[in-house]
Amino acid sequence: MSVHEPLELNVQSGAAPAVLAPNGRTTIPVITTQPPAPKRSTLTDDMKRGLDAPICLTWELTYACNLACEHCLSSSGRRDPRELSTEECFAVIDELERLQVFYVNLGGGEPMLRPDFFEIIEYAVSHHVGVKFSTNGTYIDAETATRLASMDYLDIQISIDGATEDINDPLRGDGSFAKAIAAMEHLYAAQFGPFKISVVVTRNNVDQLDDFAAIAARYGAQLRVTRLRPSGRGADSWDELHPTMDQQRQLYHWLKDRPEVLTGDSFFHLSAFGEALPGLNLCGAGRVVCLIDPVGDVYACPFVIHDEFLAGNVRDTGGFTAVWRNSELFTSLRQPSSPGACGSCGSYDACQGGCMASKFFVGLELDDPDPECVKGHAEELLAARVPGTAPVPSVDHSRPGIERTFGRTGVSIGAKPQPVEARVSEPATFT
């Protein structure tokens, strides 16, 4: 679903199917000759009740990472010794094939650090589970790019969070921009086709949206922009990095004008500015999306790696299927939920109260407004927070001794970060 990615808001009432392009954009058939039909539920209602299997499944393959991005959702750095073995990964893929999960979003950490990375993706695509994987690009050289270009049912997403080194590297580490661009060059030269460039929108890069689009155009790539969440290490830097209200409005209009830009449907809270953005405008956690982490733990979505949102483990009896279908957590997420304080707001239908993960990690209640509510309904709540009371991620694989540029533990903004290599106390290689 990007999440989860190809989902959409569907307003039809007839028998016609909604058709989604691979990029998550929708062609909604307009039905002009509709016979009288009994009142039926919308697609949004169907999605809220949950599906028999996820549409959009994120699977982080390892917590190992050569970078130490300040907003890392999974607080990655060091491999976890309990990570799924190659055989266990194959067993998960077998299950996904049986469930007809058509594709998975693989990530990490840096998934290419797993020595069995190619084995896993080749096993998946040969078992009718398409693969999209997210990478920082470090390990895509000319030879690897050629190998990737020879595979079917494979999408690649390269992450940058600045359209220039001076914006990207303070967040993602010295040299990370150059490495990502080099990977793009290699994929382009190997004629991989339209890979994706993935950008988390921050206060510092929102003015570069057109520049990101230009980079994508240069490599025949598709631009994908997603929302900054206060998850993982992002909890520390969110206050400083999330877009301002004016920037949110700027982003909303930019996206409205560019339906070709992918968003993983992650900006549905912006729909309260007016006309809905294309896509599924609701939280899909545990309903149509979920996360499998490197040790096999299943969470409601990629942005809530925390015990409160842990549904089970793929190693449990019944495997992933039992977790998806029967876990107490997912069952409860599929029940009708109270709009809480948002019930009296005229925009609730547009934003559905926003993102559960964002609320949780800034210390709001799940029925409070989204912390980035475009009507400003969360501002007082945020101002009233007591520092240090927000939930802390239960899982942290950060390498020790890494200085932060942003956030409460860091030095001041704009300070030159030390080279990543000089700050790691332990090699990030997958052992």
Partner 1 sequence: MVSLRPEPFGALAYHFGNRRLSFLRNHDMVRVVESLGAHDSVADALEAAGVERRRWPSFEKALATLESSEMIRVRA
- Footprint of partner 1 on this chain (CB under 8 A)? 6, 10, 12, 14-22, 27, 29, 31, 33-35, 40-41, 43, 46, 49, 51-53, 55, 100, 102-103, 128, 130, 153, 155
Q: Where are the beta strands (DSSP E) in 169-313?
A: 196-201, 222-227, 289-292, 297-299, 310-313
Q: How far apart are CA 399 and CA 304, in angstroms?
A: 20
The residues near 58 (Cβ < 8 Å, ≥ 6 apart) are 2, 3, 4, 104, 105, 106, 107, 289, 290, 291, 292, 301, 302
Nearest residue (CB) to partner 1, 330 versus 406: 330
CB of 243 to partner 1, least distance (A): 29
Q: Does the CA dihedral 359-356-72-376 come out positive or negative?
A: negative
CB of 93 to partner 1, least distance (A): 15
Q: How far apart are CA 93 and CA 123, in angstroms?
A: 8
136, 176 contact by CB (below 8 A):
yes
How many Cα atoms are found within 13 Å in the side-chain-facing hemisphere of 272?
22
Nearest residue (CB) to partner 1, 8 versus 70: 8
Helix (H), strand (E) at residue 104: strand 103-107
Nearest residue (CB) to partner 1, 4 versus 397: 4
DSSP label of 346: T
Nearest residue (CB) to partner 1, 103 versus 268: 103
Per the rule left: phi > 0, alpha: psi between -120 and 50, beta: everything else, 193 is: left
Nearest residue (CB) to partner 1, 56 versus 201: 56
Q: Which residue has the tokens 């030269």?
A: 189
Nearest residue (CB) to partner 1, 288 versus 291: 288
55, 104 contact by CB (below 8 A):
no
Nearest residue (CB) to partner 1, 46 versus 239: 46
Q: CA gyration radius for the chain?
A: 21
Instruction: Name the CA dihedral angle for 171, 67, 370, 347, rounded to a multiple of 10 degrees.
Output: 80
CB of 213 to partner 1, least distance (A): 22
CB of 347 to partner 1, least distance (A): 25
Nearest residue (CB) to partner 1, 113 versus 154: 154
Question: Three-class SS of residue 182?
Answer: helix
Instruction: Name the CA dihedral angle for 420, 401, 160, 113, rounded to a multiple of 10 degrees.
Output: 80
Nearest residue (CB) to partner 1, 15 versus 411: 15
CB of 100 to partner 1, least distance (A): 4
CB of 14 to partner 1, least distance (A): 4
CB of 56 to partner 1, least distance (A): 10
63, 294 contact by CB (below 8 A):
yes
12-19: list long-range contacts, CB under 8 Å, 24+ apart.
12/43, 13/37, 13/40, 18/43
CB of 106 to partner 1, least distance (A): 16
CB of 351 to partner 1, least distance (A): 22
Nearest residue (CB) to partner 1, 29 versus 259: 29
Angle, alpha carbons 392-397-398 (nearest 5°) = 85
β-pair partners for 259: none
Nearest residue (CB) to partner 1, 122 versus 165: 122
362, 238 contact by CB (below 8 A):
yes
CB of 6 to partner 1, least distance (A): 5
CB of 364 to partner 1, least distance (A): 32
Q: Which residue has the tokens 């998975």?
A: 104
